[in-house]
């Protein structure tokens, strides 16, 4: 996890658990998106998730920013859930927007935040909703990235807007990549249980 208020490079939130080093993919767009898998995941799948995150940022007309995408196990995300939200247990996605006002004198991209995914928990959701894990992870990337951009679903109107945005972005991504269009996520299916911690950058 990046330490707020420092100039340190991206650091892993936990040590790789396979002894072979982390699977890391860097994005190719103007955004500095870095994906790190701390669990077993095909590199091609991690690359697609990074590219999808970049796609969402482009579609939302986000300028030059840096974003971290972390793929972790259930134990790691449970620790983050407890540390930052005071909630017990694991969850499928956590978003960490960083409250950092851009500095006009600094030409380097600002850090927008981090999205943390847990395929282990996502797989359970995929079984319940009868969707594949790959599509569930795409949904979580879109969902988590929209949280980084300030969208939320506390109020019904906000939930409706966020669900509609998710569906639109997922359909556009499917069309762009030649995938089957995913089933839309309806308002009543929007995730109420996920959390949106905020990291305040100081100094």
- List, for the chain, all residue ranges whose pLDDT scores fall below the cut of 70: 1-22, 30-31, 99-108, 187-203
Q: Give the pLDDT confidence score for residue 83 in this predicted structure.
A: 94
Q: Give the pLDDT confidence score for residue 101 in this predicted structure.
A: 64
Q: Give the pLDDT confidence score for residue 100 in this predicted structure.
A: 62
Indicate whether 17 belongs to any domain. no
Q: How distant, in Å, are the alpha carbons of 42, 60, 174, 180 from that of 150?
A: 30, 11, 24, 28
Pairing of strands 23-26, 32-37: antiparallel
Indicate whether 119 belongs to any domain. yes
Indicate whether 4 belongs to any domain. no
Indicate whether 190 belongs to any domain. yes
Q: Give the pLDDT confidence score for residue 27 in this predicted structure.
A: 85
Rounded distance between C-alpha atoms, residue 73 and residue 75, angstroms: 6
User: Quick count: other Cβ atoms within 10 Å of Cβ 190?
Assistant: 17
- In tens, the pLDDT along 40-59 reads 999 999 999 999 999 999 99
Structural domain containing residue 128: 23-102+109-200
Residue 131 belongs to domain with CATH number: 3.40.390.30
Residue 33, classed as helix, strand or coil, is strand
Indicate whether 63 belongs to any domain. yes
Rounded distance between C-alpha atoms, residue 137 and residue 119, angstroms: 7
- The count of domains in the chain is 1
Indicate whether 68 belongs to any domain. yes
Indicate whether 16 belongs to any domain. no
Q: Give the pLDDT confidence score for residue 7 in this predicted structure.
A: 28
């Amino acid at each position: 996890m990046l330490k707020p208020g420092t100039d340190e490079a991206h650091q892993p939130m936990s040590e790789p658990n396979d002894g072979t080093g982390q699977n890391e993919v860097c994005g190719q767009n103007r955004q500095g998106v870095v994906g790190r898998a701390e669990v077993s995941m095909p590199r091609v799948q991690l690359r697609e998730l990074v590219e999808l995150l970049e796609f969402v940022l482009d579609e939302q007309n986000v300028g030059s920013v840096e974003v971290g995408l972390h793929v972790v196990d259930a134990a790691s995300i449970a620790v983050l859930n407890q540390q930052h939200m005071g909630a017990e247990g694991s969850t499928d996605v956590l978003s960490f927007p960083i409250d950092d006002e851009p500095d006009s004198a600094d030409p380097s991209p600002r850090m927008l935040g981090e999205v943390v995914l847990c395929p282990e928990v996502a797989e359970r959701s995929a079984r319940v909703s009868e969707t594949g894990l790959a599509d569930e992870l795409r949904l979580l990337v879109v969902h988590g990235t929209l949280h980084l951009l300030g969208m939320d679903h506390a109020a019904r109107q906000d939930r409706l807007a966020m669900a509609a945005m998710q569906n639109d972005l997922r359909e556009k991504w499917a069309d762009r990549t030649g995938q089957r269009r995913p089933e839309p996520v309806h308002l009543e299916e929007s995730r109420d249980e996920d959390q949106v911690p905020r990291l305040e950058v100081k100094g």
